[in-house]
Structure 1
Amino acid sequence: MKNIFIINGHQKYPFSEGKLNATLTEKAESYFKSNGYNIKKTTMEDNYDVNEEIEKFKWADVVFFQTPLNWMGVSWSFKKYIDEVFSMGMMGEMSDGDGRSKEAPKKNYGLGGKLNGKYMMSVTANAPKEAFNNPEETFFNGISEDELLKPMHLNFKWFGFEPLPTFMAYDVMKNPEIENDFNRFENHLKANF
């Protein structure tokens, strides 16, 4: 696992400039560099070439994806990226279509992935930690962070990537504990790399 592709999926808004996501991305990059990893990066605020992005996924042993939780999912700019890059990658570079064959058209949907790396999601959320995994908190009805992020997990699984544990910084707008988040983040990276 020496090739790391880092994606900063933050979309800037007047009330959320992306400083925390940028800082976590920088901390991840610094950690990986200091431990001898090769790094390629993409930021949603930058222009990108679809074919170059596909090559980054093919090159990567690990995709590290930093994102805010925007309306229970990723930013619209990252969704656009997925639609452009993943859709083109599905045409043979990153997967053999949707995994089904003419001989078995009803089996193996989503299992045509050609890549065999890993991925890690790091998420910033305004929701408090206590909103998850607790059936008494009726908005999420007891679901976990990873259950909420299931669509992203399935996107990576589509191409053959396996998950590493997700990191989440909670309550980042109303009750931030940024220094504690940074310490937990560093420990999370150390525990998994």
Structure 2
Amino acid sequence: MNQLHITLEENSPAIKWANTQADRIGARGHVGTHLDCYTTVPEKPEYNITAMVLDCQNEMPKEEDIKSLTTLENMALLLHTANLERNEYGTDMYFSTETFLSEEVLHTILEKKPLFIIIDSHGIAEKGKRHIEFDKICEANGCHVIENVDLSCIGNQKEVQLKILININHQSTGKPCELYCV
């Protein structure tokens, strides 16, 4: 099994930052590999699912890219941007790299009914209000976004089997996750 989640040491800049926040528990939930839960939490703490891999290293997908996928129902969509491979997690460069979906593309993805959208970057929308709005749209459609995943071992694969472990009881709106390619 290949580990896809980021492992952070207690002395890493991201953990140090989270520990200085007024809502330390909340901040720690949003550091490293996690999914956001603003309105709903995934039903189970563990998923063994198939994931379709979409190469987004040169540009984010357009509607026609999503429409060409046969199905995503009860699956995951992996958006392989290579942001984590090119820029160290937690750096300004990592967080300033735009790996965002348009609202039309997001709705086209959700029409295919995936359980998860997984990205090797800091999210599918701009930080702040729009980021939260996109996460809530996903949740309303039975989908959650998992952020900050290391997809460097995926290579050119178009489909992979994943084991996803989610700390659904974490007190933050950010639920820490572990992901493995099996």
Relative contact order higher in (CA < 8 Å, ≥ 6 apart): 2
The structure that is strand-richer by fraction is: 2
Q: TM-score, normalised by structure 1?
A: 0.31
TM-score (norm 2): 0.32
